[in-house]
A and B are shown apart, each in its own frame.
Chain A
């Protein structure tokens, strides 16, 4: 899979396969937390209130940047499980065409039973994150986004942000 950025479904399928080996939900969460640990930390300077996603019980910072028709994301959270969820969302969506991001159904969240395992308040937090991601993807050129100006270019280069291939 040389160029996966055009294929959200492929990335979702990879994740579903990775999670399929776990029967005990605790193992699934252990793996999710592990995935989260590999997410690059958002520099403290970027952990600003203006990037906080409202509606999450934990803190979630999310920043997007568009280059031509594609959008890259950086995000972080102060809780381990949310970091894992963010890592998965970014792996599927970061670097994808804006239109594809907006269209994405993200069925993998149901397939790996993440959505159903989160209480409705927590699922609302997840929904808020997805809404913010899609909102950023929907901004024209993103020139108006305050996040755009604040984001150092190097941190959002596709090379840095492209998701790791599943081993």
Chain B
């Protein structure tokens, strides 16, 4: 693909250079169709530098970390702990000991929810989430409520698919002990005012967990400014490998949160009569971790830091605008989430047409989107739909791809409505 199709007049060629770092985007699918990857909210593609970091680790450094008496172990440990520092710096955390490697967002939420069920939540307490949460930020809290006797409360959305702040405030009471909230909705693209949510929730004495799974690749995150008690995200949504994620927690919270899993690494001393636990962050990292994944995530965040993030964000928003303008022309289309101030994804249904059929026919034209409930069944139920068709963008996407997506969508609808 020539760079001319990547930029519009007045734009820098930065997105084209950025795109060239991702080898998979050169893929030609069966039938000779070039891949148009618009499933970025599900997972991002990986740049050369991340792939190279994984290969390099397994080629030159593979070893189990910590406690090894040999050079390879030292090399692997340095790389892994170096990645932890990179993550800390990336999200504005001064203390790398507060950065816990997890398998992903889901494990991070489960770790916190299960710990709070044992150490913080009492019968009659309330856990407040929103109606736009992913199953990963619903089910662990249902389990925590079941275990502790706490009650789950759900803040509703406005007609535009944004958090109803007034209703949220009404639900926020001294009984609210936990607020768990998504930053950017994966199903709607709505962006929540997380700083305000954190402040107001903490003012009533609640601990706040922010699900930054989608936000990590789109927002600049500073946990000190944000002030949340916990923040979780997955590596694979920010150009890193799958199977690695981060739980950040404030020290005073993490010190008292009970361990999630027992095993190697997380202990100080083990006796049959009882064991004592290691210091942060190892207390929450039982077993041999995903060493390569951690190193790969470090490489991914270094890659992001080296970019002109503002320029890329502008490009991403321009892609979104062009898509929204195109979707406005599609008869019978319903867009979910707000029209203004949304993250770079579109989630929609078309009257009389099932999202699954759209997905298959877009796939036939080389376009990868996601269809279904996006792990947000309660949200879909509220809208009275089974699912939506979702196209999500990252800065490596091009205006030409947006145009091809819109063309392919119209072609699919013509076939389905014939």
Bind each other: yes
Bin the interface of chain B by size. 10 to 19
Given A117-B364, A119-B363 in contact, is the A26-B354 Cβ separation under 8 Å? no
Rounded to whole angstroms, the CA-CA distance of A27 and B336 in the bound complex is 30
CB of A118 within 8 A of CB of B360, answer: yes
Q: Does A15 contact B (CB under 8 A)?
A: no
Contact with B along A54-79 (1 / 0, CB 8 A): 00011000000000000000000011
Contacts of B360 in A (CB 8 A): 29, 81, 117-118, 122
- The docked-state distance in angstroms from the alpha carbon of A118 to that of B364 is 9
The answer, among B365, B371, B386, B418, for a CB contact under 8 Å with A30, is: B418
Given the complex, which residues of A lie within 8 Å of B353, measured CB to CB? 80
Known A80-B416, A117-B364, A119-B363; contact A25-B31, beta-carbon cutoff 8 A: yes
A79 and B357 alpha carbons, distance in the complex (Å): 6
B355 to chain A, nearest CB (A): 9
B415 interface residue (CB < 8 Å to A) = yes
Q: Could you tell me if A82 and B356 are in contact, using CB atoms closer than 8 angstroms? A: yes
Q: Are B418 and A81 in contact (CB under 8 A)?
A: no
In the complex formed, the residue of A with least CB distance to B416 is A80
Q: Which of B356, B365, B386, B411 contacts A81 (CB 8 A)?
A: B356
A57 to B356, CA, bound (A): 8
Of B30, B356, B361, most A-chain CB atoms within 10 Å: B356
Say yes or no: is A33 at the interface (Cβ < 8 Å to chain B): yes
Q: How far is the CB of B412 from chain A (nearest CB, A)?
A: 8
Please indicate the chain B residues that have their CB under 8 angstroms from the CB of A119 in the complex: 363
* Residue numbers in A under 8 Å from B411 (CB-CB): 26
Closest to A36 in B: B357
Chain A 1-45 residues near chain B, CB threshold 8 A: 25-26, 29-30, 33-34
What residue in chain A is nearest B368 (Cβ atoms)?
A119
Q: B415 and A29: CB pair below 8 A?
A: yes
Contacts A30-B418, A33-B416 given: A25-B356 contact, CB under 8 Å? no
Query: What is the CA–CA distance of A25 and B30 in the complex, to the nearest angstrom?
Result: 11
- A33 CA / B358 CA spacing, docked (Å): 12
Tell yes or no: B372 within 8 A of A by CB.
yes
Among A29, A30, A58, A118, point to the contact of B354 (Cβ < 8 A): A58
Interface residues of A in 94-112 (CB under 8 A from B): none
Q: Are B364 and A79 in contact (CB under 8 A)?
A: no
> A30 and B415 in contact (CB under 8 A), knowing A25-B31, A79-B354, A82-B356?
yes
Contact A26 B364 (CB under 8 A): yes
Q: Of B357, B364, B386, B418, which is within 8 A of A25 by CB? A: B364
A82 to B359 alpha-carbon distance, docked (Å) = 12
Residues of chain B within 8 A of A118, CB atoms compared:
360
| Nearest chain A CB to B34 CB, angstrom units | 15
Flag if A29 contacts B364 (CB, 8 Å).
Answer: yes
B352-396: CB near A (< 8 Å → 1, else 0) gives 011011001101110000011000000000000010000000000
Q: Are A26 and B31 in contact (CB under 8 A)?
A: no
Chain A, Cβ-Cβ closest to B33: A25
Minimum C-beta distance from A138 to chain B (A)? 29
List of A residues within 8 angstroms of B354 by Cβ: 58, 78-80
Residues of B275-325 at the interface with A, using a CB-CB cut-off of 8 Å, are: none
Chain B residues near A82 (CB-CB < 8 A): 356
Tell me the complex Cα distance, A163–B361, Å.
27
Report A162 CB to chain B, min CB distance, Å: 27
Complex: chain B residue closest to A125, CB-CB? B356
A80 contacts B357, C-beta separation under 8 Å: yes
Give residues of chain B (398-418) contacting chain A, Cβ–Cβ below 8 Å. 411, 415-416, 418
A81 contacts B364, C-beta separation under 8 Å? no
Shortest C-beta distance, A154 to chain B (Å), equals 29
CA distance A118 to B328 in the complex (A): 29
Chain B residues contacting A78 (CB-CB under 8 Å) are 354, 386
- Complex CA gap A88/B139 in Å reads 40
Report the bound CA distance from A117 to B360 in whole Å.
9
**With the chains together, A73 CA to B22 CA distance in Å?**
49
Closest to A34 in B: B418
Query: Closest CB-CB distance, A89 to chain B, in whole Å?
Result: 17
Given contacts A57-B372, A79-B356, A82-B356, contact A26 B363 (CB under 8 A): no
Whole-angstrom distance between the alpha carbons of A82 and B354 in the complex? 11
**Residue numbers in B under 8 Å from A81 (CB-CB):** 356-357, 360-361
Contacts of B356 in A (CB 8 A): 57-58, 79, 81-82
* CB nearest to A84 among chain B residues: B357
Bound complex: CA A156 to CA B306 (Å): 67
B35 to chain A, nearest CB (A): 14
**The residue from A29, A34, A57, A116 contacting B361, defined by CB atoms under 8 A apart:** A29
Nearest CB of A to B280, in Å: 40
Identify the closest chain B residue to A80 (Cβ).
B357
A34 to B415, CA, bound (A): 9
Could you list 27 A-B pairs, sorted by A, with CB under 8 Å? A26-B365, A26-B411, A29-B360, A29-B364, A33-B357, A33-B416, A33-B418, A34-B418, A57-B356, A57-B372, A58-B354, A78-B354, A79-B354, A79-B356, A79-B357, A80-B353, A80-B354, A80-B357, A80-B416, A81-B356, A81-B360, A81-B361, A82-B356, A116-B30, A117-B360, A117-B363, A117-B364
Given known contacts A116-B30, A117-B363, what 9 new A-B pairs fall within 8 Å (CB)?
A: A25-B31, A29-B360, A29-B361, A30-B415, A33-B418, A78-B386, A79-B354, A82-B356, A119-B363
When A and B form their complex, which 5 residue pairs have the shortest distance between CB atoms, in order from nearest? A79-B354, A25-B364, A79-B356, A30-B415, A80-B357
